[in-house]
Structure 1
Amino acid sequence: MHDGHDGHNTFPVSSKVSEFEILELAVRELAIEKGIFSAEDHRRFAEWADGVGPHGGSKLVAKAWSDPAFKEKLLTKGTEACKEVGIDWLQPTGTGTPSDYTFFYVLENTPKVHNVIVCTLCSCYPRPVLGMSPDWYRTPAYRRRMVNRPREVLAEFGLHLPDDVEVRVHDSNQKSRFMVMPMRPDGTEGWSEQELAEIVTRDTMIGVALPDPKVRVPVPAGEVHQ
C-alpha cells in the first residue's frame, strides 16, 4: 500500500489496480467502517505478512526431505509440524473453538502424481508459510484455467509433465490451506537442510515449478517465528 491517505482510507494512490484489488479494498474499507477490525489492525497484519515470505515453507520441505519422521508428521499433522519451525497455525478466527481454526495440509509430489494449489473462490493461500500470494495467483484467469486446463497452465509456467503423471488440483478454502511438497531433486545427496531450503522456492510449493539444484534463493538460518 502507498502513503497519502487519511483516516482509515487504505486505497492506493496508483491507478493501476486489478478488479480483485478493487474488491479486496472495498471489502476492507467496509469491514473497518463496520468495526470488524480497525485500520491499525490491518496495518499490523500487513507488516507481518510482508515480512513472512516463503522461508517457513522452504524450511518445512527441507526438514522433511532430511528427516523421515518429520516428513510423516508434516504429511499427517501439518499444523502441528509447523510449530517445529516456529509457525503456529492454530490461531482462532472466531470464538476460539476448533471449528474456527484454519488447518494446513501438505501435499506430497511423487513420480506419478503432481499437485498444484489454487483458490477458485477468491485467493485463499497459506500465508504463514509462503507469505503473500503472487499477483498471478489471485487473477480470475489462473483460478479458472488451473481447474479446467491444468497442464496447459503449467506449460505456460515452463513446467511440462509426462503424460503418465497425474495432475491433482487442490482448491483452498476458508478452513483449509494447502502447500505442495516437491520431490527432492537428484544430486542433492549430502546437502544440509539450509542448502536444501535454498532450492525450495515459492512456486515449487504452489506446484507450478520444480526445484532446480542449480538455482538457489537465500533463506535466513534458524527458526521462523511468527
Structure 2
Amino acid sequence: MPHDHDHDHDHDDHHAQGEDAPHSHLPSEPALRVKALETLLVDKGLVDPAALDELIETYEERIGPRNGARVVAKAWSDPAFREWLLEDATAAIASLGFMGRQGEHMVALENSAERHNMVVCTLCSCYPWPVLGIPPVWYKSEAYRSRAVIDPRGVLAEFGVALPEETEVRVWDSTAEVRYLVIPERPEGTEGMSEEELAELVTRDSMIGVETLEAPR
C-alpha cells in the first residue's frame, strides 16, 4: 500500500539504476503532468501563478494540518474544550476559526489505550479540509480505501503502528455528510507543555488515525 512513510522502494530503484541515472532526479510522471498543465494555464493567462502559489500555501500551511494540530493541542490542555469537541466537534472547531467547505459536519474521535480509531472514505476521498488540508495521495488510493475496512490492523502495521491485541480498532467511513478528526493519545512526558508546543507534536497522519505519537526527546 502506498503511503508517505514508505521511501524504501524509491531508494532501491535509484540505487539499482545508479546515482547518476538521468531519471533519478526528475519528478514523478503525475508531478510532470501537473507542472505541464500549470504551465499551459499560466501561458494562456487563465491562472495567475502568484494566486496559485497562495492557494496551495493556504491549504498546505494555514488551512492544513496545523489547524487540526491546534484543535488537538487545545483538547489535550483544556478539559472543557475536549468535552465540547467530543459532543459537538463542528461548533468547537469553528470556535477556533476553522470552518468552511468540507468541514461543515465534523465528528471528533478520541484514541485511547482501549480503542484506536482510524478514518477512511470508501467511496471517494471525503476529507476535512479546514483542519487537515489537502488529502494525501495514499488516502485517495483504492488500496487504502478497500483494505482499511477489511484489514485495518494490517494497514496500520504498514504505517508502523502495532497495537496490542486487546486494543479495539474502529474504522470510520467519512462521507459528504460527516467527516472525522482523530484526537491521538497525548504522549507521555508532555505535562507542562504549552498548547503551542503540544501542537508541534501532532501530525496529519495521527489525526487520520494511521500514526501514534511518541514522547518528545
Same fold (TM over 0.5): yes
Q: What secondary structure does 1:107 align onto?
A: strand
C-alpha displacement of 1:49 = 2.5
Residue of structure 1 equivalent to 2:203: 201
Distance 1:204 1:47 in 2: 21
Q: 2:74 aligns with which of 43, 50, 63?
A: 63
Q: Let me know the Cα RMSD of the aligned residues.
A: 2.5
Q: Is 1:79 paired with 2:90?
A: yes
Q: 1:113 aligns with which of 73, 98, 115?
A: 115
Q: What secondary structure does 2:182 align onto?
A: strand
Residue of structure 2 equivalent to 1:26: none
Q: What secondary structure does 1:56 align onto?
A: helix
C-alpha displacement of 1:175 = 1.3
Q: Quick check: 2:182–2:206 contact (8 Å CA) kept in 1?
A: yes
Spell out, residue by residue over 1:31-52, the C-alpha distance to the aligned partner (whole angstroms, 9 max, x if none): xxxxxxx989x96865643442
Q: Which runs of 5+ in 1 are unaligned?
A: 10-37, 94-100, 216-226
Q: What secondary structure does 1:116 align onto?
A: strand
Q: 1:54 aligns with which of 52, 65, 70?
A: 65
C-alpha displacement of 1:110 = 1.7
Q: Which runs of 5+ in 2 are unaligned?
A: 1-33
Distance 2:145 2:209 in 1: 14
| Matching of residues 1-226 of structure 1 within 5 Å | 1-2=34-35, 3-6=38-41, 48-51=58-61, 52-89=63-100, 102-214=104-216
Q: What secondary structure does 1:168 align onto?
A: strand
Spell out, residue by residue over 1:160-191, the C-alpha distance to the aligned partner (whole angstroms, 9 max, x if none): 00000000000000111101001111111111
Residue of structure 2 equivalent to 1:222: none
Number of residues paired by the alignment?
177
Distance 2:140 2:65 in 1: 17
Distance 2:215 2:68 in 1: 17
Distance 2:168 2:153 in 1: 10
Provide closer, same or farther for how the CA distance between residues 140 and 71 of structure 1 changes in structure 2, counting only shifts above 3 A: same
Distance 1:83 1:45 in 2: 21
Q: What secondary structure does 1:85 align onto?
A: coil
Higher helix share: 2
Q: Quick check: 1:158–1:209 contact (8 Å CA) kept in 2?
A: yes
Distance 2:187 2:56 in 1: 34
Distance 2:64 2:87 in 1: 24
Amino acid at match of 1:82: I
Q: Quick check: 1:102–1:174 contact (8 Å CA) kept in 2?
A: no
Identical-residue share of aligned pairs (%): 48
Q: TM-score, normalised by structure 2?
A: 0.74
